[in-house]
Chains A and B, each alone.
Chain A
């Protein structure tokens, strides 16, 4: 079953065409990658999917539901979360607080004026340990390094138990020695928690290892898609990266 289905989406910013006739499908439970040279419209596509801006034409279906006119919080509450290329965290709050607030707070309005439950606290600690930030849990998130903030943001997204997670360059800025560990964790999240992943990535080694299916964007259009080894040997993809 297709969890996310993007059908011929167009998006332009005042004359600049960022996405033209872009389609992709993400099957449930899989890891799908998006690659493409800088400025090829990957992040724009992410923004269109999660509701950051309106799309000019096309359809976006999530779990069978048309979401291209919903607002960001509504889409997020359907179970689709994203992380940012530049980290977005609550920098004046501690890591634990960052995690707590990412739990599902307002599904039960009656409890909104209560402190966080034990389960939330335990889950926060567990997930912080999972990404290796347990020791730093009482530090202000703004004091973490860029790479650590990325890990925190990833853990925050897990806190919400999403159905699908859109990761915008999860390894960019992360210490190279930690990248392998991160790949393992992404895979673990996918296998054990059953979270579908859609990943934008520049690091070819990472994406080829991780994804089961890869889409390649260039100049705002979908250039090719296929299994990692097909993409790797696709002449059009190689040309796009070399700038032809």
Chain B
């Protein structure tokens, strides 16, 4: 078994390697960035989906909201004099370095705040339901949001909008900047979530997963905990969304912002593949799935998405506990055998 100290050593070693990786593979920085993105997505999904056992199909909503809010702030903050009669989807804003980073920071934060508000409002309605009804209510969130976004001209409607251009002639290029930004956010998310799961709050989430009726009868206001958990997820998801929008440079409601078949599905399957309800599971799942997808799936020539669908089905049906869940079960089994022996 890996002790805490060894685990931390491993983490720092991993981070040290991650910090120099962009210099080793300068042609693959964007790809590496996406690994951090995926880790954030999987970790945030797992807060509700794994720790409380409430499988949400609608977390993609917060990603898209963060993306759009941030993009709008970035576009309008320093250039209010834009001619609104031109086609919104073609507006490209040129900002100088300080404007760019200030608007990016403000935009990201606003996106995160809007997402949290949305999570609280939606959550107080939806998270009071259980089981089937909760799942049904989350299933269409992303889809509905995409349709609504497609109807709002201010954000470019169906054709989407362009995020501001990264200022030229900076010490650090766009790809490297976003690589380190996502590295930072992912690491922060990881450590914060780990702290949360080891806290009283985290155990309350687990109590909801194991027996919500009991938790209520012991005086825990379960809905409030679920809302709080969802809001924390929404916060980091929206930050990730703001970043993704800028990395891609272009936002579109169906294919990118509220893209259920890509980000929406990936976050779920990554968390489950690695082992939901654990802190390392989503990280592991994200790394494995995304690396696999980027390396050999391209050889599947158009059948890669079918393979993803098949993978979801196989994992859920035959391997629902994921990689870490499998090992945890075995460890638990050994423990109970040992303790029974010790007692006898």
Complex: A in contact with B (CB within 8 Å): yes
What residues of chain A have their CB less than 8 Å away from a CB belonging to chain B? Answer: 50, 71-73, 76-77, 81-82, 84, 88-93, 97, 100-102, 104-106, 111-116, 135-136, 138-140, 143, 156-157, 160
A88 touching B213, Cβ below 8 Å: yes
User: What would 9 more interface pairs be, CB under 8 Å, given A71-B216, A93-B207?
Assistant: A50-B217, A73-B221, A76-B216, A101-B215, A105-B204, A111-B200, A113-B195, A114-B199, A114-B200
- Nearest-CB residue, chain B, relative to A135: B343
Compute the total of residue contacts between A and B using a CB distance below 8 Å. 96
Please report which residues of chain B, range 181-213, place their CB below 8 angstroms from some CB of chain A when the two chains form the complex.
195-196, 198-201, 203-204, 206-207, 209-211, 213
A90 touching B219, Cβ below 8 Å: no
Min Cβ gap B328→A in Å is 10
B20 at the interface (CB under 8 A from A): no
A138 touching B219, Cβ below 8 Å: no
A105 touching B200, Cβ below 8 Å: yes
B196 touching A100, Cβ below 8 Å: no
Query: Taking chain A's interface residues, is the majority helix, strand, or loop, or is none over half, making it mixed?
Result: loop
User: B residues within 8 A CB of A160?
Assistant: 218-219
| Measured CA separation A156–B203 after assembly (Å) | 14
What residues of chain B have their CB less than 8 Å away from a CB belonging to chain A? Answer: 195-196, 198-201, 203-204, 206-207, 209-211, 213-222, 332, 335-336, 339, 343
Would you list 28 pairs from A and B whose C-beta atoms are within 8 A, ordered by A residue?
A71-B216, A72-B217, A73-B220, A73-B222, A76-B217, A77-B219, A81-B217, A81-B218, A82-B217, A84-B214, A84-B217, A88-B211, A88-B214, A88-B217, A89-B214, A93-B206, A101-B204, A105-B203, A105-B204, A106-B200, A106-B221, A112-B199, A113-B199, A114-B200, A115-B198, A115-B199, A115-B200, A135-B339
| Measured CA separation A89–B206 after assembly (Å) | 12
Min Cβ gap B322→A in Å is 14
| Measured CA separation A136–B335 after assembly (Å) | 11
B216 touching A73, Cβ below 8 Å: yes
Interface centre among A72, A104, A111, A140 (most CB of B within 10 A): A72
Given contacts A73-B221, A90-B206, A92-B206, contact A113 B196 (CB under 8 A): yes
Within 8 Å by CB of B216, from A72, A114, A157, lies A72
User: B residues within 8 A CB of A82?
Assistant: 217
Nearest first, the 10 A-B pairs at minimum CB distance are A76-B219, A90-B210, A88-B214, A77-B219, A105-B200, A72-B216, A101-B203, A113-B199, A112-B201, A101-B207
User: A residues within 8 A CB of B196?
Assistant: 113
User: B residues within 8 A CB of A135?
Assistant: 339, 343
- Nearest-CB residue, chain A, relative to B209: A92
Min Cβ gap A159→B in Å is 9
B339 touching A136, Cβ below 8 Å: yes
A91 touching B199, Cβ below 8 Å: no
User: A residues within 8 A CB of B195?
Assistant: 113
| Measured CA separation A193–B200 after assembly (Å) | 25
Within 8 Å by CB of B332, from A73, A106, A111, A140, lies A140
- Nearest-CB residue, chain A, relative to B199: A113
| Measured CA separation A106–B335 after assembly (Å) | 32
Given contacts A97-B203, A101-B203, contact A91 B211 (CB under 8 A): yes
Within 8 Å by CB of A100, from B203, B217, B222, B335, lies B203
| Measured CA separation A208–B19 after assembly (Å) | 72
User: B residues within 8 A CB of A113?
Assistant: 195-196, 199-201
User: A residues within 8 A CB of B198?
Assistant: 115
- Nearest-CB residue, chain A, relative to B342: A135
B203 touching A92, Cβ below 8 Å: no
- Nearest-CB residue, chain A, relative to B219: A76
Within 8 Å by CB of A112, from B200, B207, B210, lies B200
Min Cβ gap A209→B in Å is 27
Min Cβ gap A46→B in Å is 11
A92 touching B199, Cβ below 8 Å: no
A116 touching B217, Cβ below 8 Å: no
- Nearest-CB residue, chain A, relative to B333: A143
User: B residues within 8 A CB of A105?
Assistant: 200, 203-204, 220
| Measured CA separation A114–B213 after assembly (Å) | 24
| Measured CA separation A156–B332 after assembly (Å) | 22
B207 touching A90, Cβ below 8 Å: yes
User: B residues within 8 A CB of A90?
Assistant: 206-207, 210-211, 214-215
Interface centre among A97, A112, A114, A140 (most CB of B within 10 A): A112
User: B residues within 8 A CB of A102?
Assistant: 218
B203 touching A106, Cβ below 8 Å: no
